């Protein structure tokens, strides 16, 4: 990476590169995003002997975890289902590591595989240049300085959660109290004694309600759709682990049935306290729509006891109050939007066949979602969490390795030739040479 920075600096001042912005030829893949997926891809590539560079808009790795999550967050799934390739979690970590532990693990992962992302580089566009057969990736730094990276392979690792989703709600701009997305929420301590409306009943919304209760705030939860809430553990095993094990032997519908019977025995009928279950079972729903079941960490007990009130959809918002679709009006001091995230690829990736412009997700679903055309790859867009990221990273590195080895052979011959001709033009020659050797 130091080498890359030197090259970048050299090229910026190189008279042969007479462009409005410096151009950097990257021999290996450019990875956009230094979250767990980008780190996993870089590590797997490195393991295969393929160098890469990682561009990250933020000033740290795993910015979603470090900057945009609440303090009490722990991994929702047991650690063995969240480890990245080639490095298990430390034995002394608990089954569900805290976010601090997870970040520490990722920092150590980056160190171990010597991954040094280029920070504070927002990738604003990436376009495939057919005339030469490589990608032009333009990033913008903090002071607005642009750099163009040119590469044969582009790995998109910007995540399913790149931007907060903020729904349009009638009258929201009139509301006098605080309005926060969960990406800004840290702790319920600042809401002590306040009436807080949490909009959205996924894992984050449910957990924020629990956190608010624990800090003596008075949360209410807007539940618009039906939702599957499952205990985080059943029969002394994690529900996720048990499901995966049962799926080895039984069809998905039967496993769903067993999960629902167990949940009913533990929770009772969740519909009686305002949480209707979808018609499809939790695993079938997840595989068909990507909608994740909520793994309960204690919120349901608070709903049962009335500490968390349930409301239907919002009709409109006033300066201090919220009217719900059932006509009920209530006053609130704050609103927390647990309304999720979305991918941001449509805003920067100038390629429309692999990623949908509508939702920024690969058009092909798992397990085909990782590979596009012309050296384009996606890591971490499987709707299967970190397990999916690891699987993608391994596949991508294996695929690129094949081309890398073949091209490295041809390239070394050309480098030898071009160096005797004109050493200063090496990066340009190498680009065009790759075009000629492209498969
Ligand atoms: C609250 C929460 C809890 C979760 N818990 C679990 C769990 O327990 N187990 C599990 O398996 N999964 C979990 N997930 C799901 C998923 O595993 C995580 O979201 C994980 O962080 C995904 O990693 P990623 O690298 O794909 O995306 P991200 O972590 O979002 O990383 C993407 C990176 O790309 C950067 N980026 C985005 N756009 C650009 C750009 N244009 N230019 C440069 N950089 C850019 C971002 O700054 C970010 O650092 C959880 C998700 C959330 C939100």
Helix, strand, coil shares of the chain, percent, nearest 5, are 40, 20, 40
Task: For residue range 188-230, list pLDDT tens digits in order.
Answer: 999 999 999 999 999 999 999 999 999 999 999 999 999 999 9
Q: Can you tell me whether residue 160 is helix, strand or coil?
A: coil
- Protein residue whose Cα sits closest to atom 12 of ligand 1: 385
Tell me, yes or no, if the two domains 7-162+343-433 and 165-340 fold the same way. Answer: yes
**Ligand 1 atom with least separation from CA of 380:** 26
Task: For residue range 281-293, list pLDDT tens digits in order.
Answer: 999 999 888 899 9
Query: Sheet containing 321-324: which strands, arranged edge to edge?
Result: 314-317, 321-324, 329-331
pLDDT given at position 27: 92
Beta bridge partners of 25: 150
Residue with the bigger pLDDT between 144 and 18: it is 144
Mutate to test the pocket of ligand 1, among 76, 99, 138, 342 (most ligand atoms within 8 A of CB): 76
Superfamily classification of domain 7-162+343-433: FAD/NAD(P)-binding domain (3.50.50.60)
**Ligand 1 atom with least separation from CA of 139:** 42
**Ligand 1 atom with least separation from CA of 63:** 49
Output the CA 412–ligand 1 centroid distance in Å. Answer: 37
Output the CA 159–ligand 1 centroid distance in Å. Answer: 5
Q: Give 365's pLDDT tier (boundaries 50, 70, 90).
A: confident
Mutate to test the pocket of ligand 1, among 70, 185, 369, 385 (most ligand atoms within 8 A of CB): 385
Output the CA 76–ligand 1 centroid distance in Å. Answer: 14
pLDDT given at position 437: 30
pLDDT given at position 12: 46
Tokens representing 375?
A: 């050296």
Using the predicted structure, report yes or no on whether residue 170 has a pLDDT greater than 60: yes
Q: How far is CA 288 from CA 195, 210, 341, 357, in A?
A: 36, 29, 19, 20
Output the CA 12–ligand 1 centroid distance in Å. Answer: 32
pLDDT given at position 436: 33
Q: Which residues line ligand 1 (CB under 6 A)?
A: 32-38, 55-58, 62-64, 69, 73, 75-77, 82, 122-123, 157-159, 161-162, 204, 344, 348, 380, 385-386, 389
**Ligand 1 atom with least separation from CA of 69:** 1
Output the CA 94–ligand 1 centroid distance in Å. Answer: 21
Q: How far is CA 379 from CA 94, 117, 158, 202, in A?
A: 27, 16, 8, 23
Q: How many CA atoms lie within 13 A of 9 on its CB side?
A: 5
Task: For residue range 237-261, list pLDDT tens digits in order.
Answer: 999 999 999 999 999 999 999 999 9
Output the CA 273–ligand 1 centroid distance in Å. Answer: 32
Q: Give 435's pLDDT tier (boundaries 50, 70, 90).
A: very low
Task: For residue range 75-131, list pLDDT tens digits in order.
Answer: 999 999 999 999 999 999 999 999 999 999 999 999 999 999 999 999 999 999 999
Output the CA 160–ligand 1 centroid distance in Å. Answer: 7
Using the predicted structure, report yes or no on whether residue 18 has a pLDDT greater than 50: no
Output the CA 7–ligand 1 centroid distance in Å. Answer: 30
Distance of alpha carbon 87 from alpha carbon 268, whole angstroms = 40
Q: Give 438's pLDDT tier (boundaries 50, 70, 90).
A: very low
Q: Can you tell me whether residue 436 is helix, strand or coil?
A: helix
Average pLDDT along the chain: 90
Residue with the bigger pLDDT between 408 and 139: it is 139
Output the CA 296–ligand 1 centroid distance in Å. Answer: 21
Q: Residue 78 CA to chain centroid, in angstroms?
A: 18
Distance of alpha carbon 185 from alpha carbon 187, whole angstroms = 6
**Ligand 1 atom with least separation from CA of 73:** 1
pLDDT given at position 428: 32
Distance of alpha carbon 57 from alpha carbon 68, whole angstroms = 14
- Protein residue whose Cα sits closest to atom 37 of ligand 1: 158
Sequence-separated contacts (24+) of 367-374 with Cβ below 8 Å: 367/391, 370/395, 370/396, 371/395, 371/396, 371/399, 374/128, 374/130, 374/133, 374/135
CA end-to-end span of the chain, whole Å? 28
To the nearest 10°, report the CA torsion of 401, 406, 410, 416: 40
**What pTM value is reported for the model?**
0.89
Q: Which residues of 403-416 are buried (b: 16+ CB within 10 A; e: fewer)?
A: bbeebeeebeebee
Task: For residue range 21-75, list pLDDT tens digits in order.
Answer: 899 999 999 999 999 999 999 999 999 999 999 999 999 999 999 999 999 999 9
Using the predicted structure, report yes or no on whether residue 2 has a pLDDT greater than 70: no
DSSP string, 46-67: HHTT---EEE-SSSSSSHHHHH
**Ligand 1 atom with least separation from CA of 55:** 43
| Domains of the chain by residue range | 7-162+343-433, 165-340
Output the CA 161–ligand 1 centroid distance in Å. Answer: 6
pLDDT given at position 407: 75
Q: 165-340 sits in which CATH class? A: alpha beta
Strands, E, within 225-357: which ranges?
229-231, 233-234, 237-238, 294-296, 309-311, 314-317, 321-324, 329-331, 334-337, 341-342
């Amino acid at each position: 990476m130091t080498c890359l920075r030197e090259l970048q600096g050299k090229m910026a001042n190189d008279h042969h590169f007479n462009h409005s912005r410096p151009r950097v030829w990257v021999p290996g893949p450019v990875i956009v995003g230094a979250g767990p997926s980008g780190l996993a891809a870089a590590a797997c590539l490195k393991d295969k002997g393929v160098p890469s560079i990682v561009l990250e808009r933020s000033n740290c790795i795993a910015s979603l975890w470090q900057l945009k999550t609440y303090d009490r967050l722990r991994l929702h799934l047991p650690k063995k289902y969240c480890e990245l390739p080639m490095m298990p979690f430390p034995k002394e970590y608990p089954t569900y590591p805290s976010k601090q532990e997870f970040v520490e693990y990722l920092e150590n992962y980056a160190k171990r595989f010597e991954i040094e992302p280029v920070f504070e580089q927002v990738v604003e566009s990436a376009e495939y240049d057919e005339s030469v057969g490589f990608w032009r990736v333009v990033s913008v730094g903090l002071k607005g300085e642009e750099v163009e990276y040119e590469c044969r392979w582009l790995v998109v690792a910007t995540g399913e959660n790149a931007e907060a989703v903020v729904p349009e709600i009638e009258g929201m701009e009139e509301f006098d109290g605080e309005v926060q997305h969960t990406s800004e929420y840290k702790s319920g301590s600042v809401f002590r004694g306040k009436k807080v409306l949490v909009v959205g009943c996924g894992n984050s919304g449910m957990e924020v309600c629990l956190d608010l209760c624990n800090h003596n705030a008075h949360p209410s939860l807007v539940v618009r759709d039906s939702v599957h809430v499952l205990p985080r553990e059943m029969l002394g095993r994690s529900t996720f682990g048990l499901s995966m094990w049962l799926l080895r032997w039984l069809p998905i519908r039967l496993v769903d049935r067993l999960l629902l019977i167990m949940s009913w025995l533990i929770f009772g009928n969740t519909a009686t306290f305002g949480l209707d279950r979808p018609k499809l079972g939790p695993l079938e729903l997840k595989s068909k729509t990507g909608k994740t079941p909520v793994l309960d960490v204690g919120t349901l007990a608070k709903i049962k006891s009335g500490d968390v009130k349930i409301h239907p959809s919002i009709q409109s918002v006033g300066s201090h109050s919220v009217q719900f679709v059932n006509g009920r009006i209530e006053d609130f001091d704050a609103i927390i939007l647990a309304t999720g995230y979305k991918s941001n690829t449509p805003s920067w990736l100038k390629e429309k066949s692999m990623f949908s412009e509508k939702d920024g997700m690969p058009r092909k679903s798992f397990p085909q979602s990782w590979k596009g055309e012309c050296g384009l790859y996606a890591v971490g867009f499987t709707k299967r969490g970190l397990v999916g990221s690891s699987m993608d990273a391994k596949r991508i590195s294996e695929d690129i390795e094949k081309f890398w080895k073949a091209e490295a052979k041809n390239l070394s011959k050309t480098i030898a030739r071009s160096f005797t001709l004109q050493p200063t033009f090496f990066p340009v020659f190498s680009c065009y040479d790759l075009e000629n050797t492209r498969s």
